[in-house]
Amino acid sequence: MTGFTEFTSINLKAVFIDVDLIRQKITTDIKHEGKVIATLYFDLLENKIHKIGDFEEVRHLQEFGIDEQYIISRIEQQLPSIIDNKISNPDELNI
């Protein structure tokens, strides 16, 4: 049996719009198909996240295991590296 798998982008990105290395605060816009659907504020010293907006527009991705918690955890995985390596202008992160 032969066949192939086609991978397509879900076009969901985290765009880092503000990185404060001293206060360890990072702001990201979550974009789906180029449109901002939510903004996340991470305060690493206080271990807090503040969200403006929602993930309703990408609700259809839940069947693939991509939900709000997954998106936030993908970003959180990158934050220590950004701070430790003093990256003030990180690249976009494909979710």
pLDDT number for residue 8? 72
* pTM, rounded to two decimals: 0.87
Spatial separation of the C-alpha atoms in residues 9 and 54, rounded to whole Å:
21
Token pair of 74, please? 């993908």
How far, in Å, CA of 77 to CA of 80, rounded? 7
pLDDT digits (tens, 9 = 90+) for 39-86: 999 999 999 999 999 999 999 999 999 999 999 999 999 999 999 999
The model's pLDDT over 9-41, given as tens digits with 9 standing for 90+, comes to 789 999 999 999 999 999 999 999 999 999 999
Q: Quote the pLDDT of residue 73.
A: 97
